[in-house]
Amino acid sequence: MVYGFWIMVYDRNGNKVLSCEAQDGKHLVRIDAEHYEPIAKKVSTSIPQVRRDFTERFSNGARYLDAAGTKFDQPTHHARKIMELQELYSDAVLDYFIGKAIDECRMDIKSFRQMLKEYNGRDISQSSCTLPEVSIKAEASGQADPLTRECSYYEEYLKEVRDA
């Protein structure tokens, strides 16, 4: 519904969900960066920047890019996919497995993810690993799946919007 210069959105019970200022003109799209923040890309898509970030972040980064460069046409593609795992794994864990991937010649992202699954949950502190444990960040927070949210998340968001 439009009232003057404001658009107000209500749910079926008549509760206000959202209000925003109307745009002047036809066929304009209002984009609020805050709405896209949860799905925004956290890793650069620029090949030179991926190389810089990967080598700065991981001690095994340069070695990985050199080794993967002999195996793949675009090693930065796989490096970028590994960096995207930062939401699930710490940099120390990823760095350890990057080294393991080089040693085991499992540098493509599919094999890398499989290797993480194989080792996840195992106590690798007894092996040659220098890390005390390997765990997914979501497990530490008590959340079962980091890509799944409890319904309370949306209820809290709705309360915030109503109060605004």
Contact assessment for residue 93 and residue 124, using Cβ atoms and an 8 Å cutoff: no
Distance CA(138)–CA(142), nearest Å, equals: 6
- Give the tens place of pLDDT for each residue, 126-154: 444 444 344 444 444 454 555 555 666 66
Distance CA(20)–CA(64), nearest Å, equals: 48
Taking the domains of the chain in order of start, what are their residue ranges? Answer: 2-39, 47-140
- pTM comes to 0.54
- Give the tens place of pLDDT for each residue, 77-103: 999 999 988 878 888 989 999 999 999
Rg (CA), the chain: 22
* Residue 25: predicted pLDDT: 77
> Measured between alpha carbons, how far apart are the two ends of the chain, in Å?
18
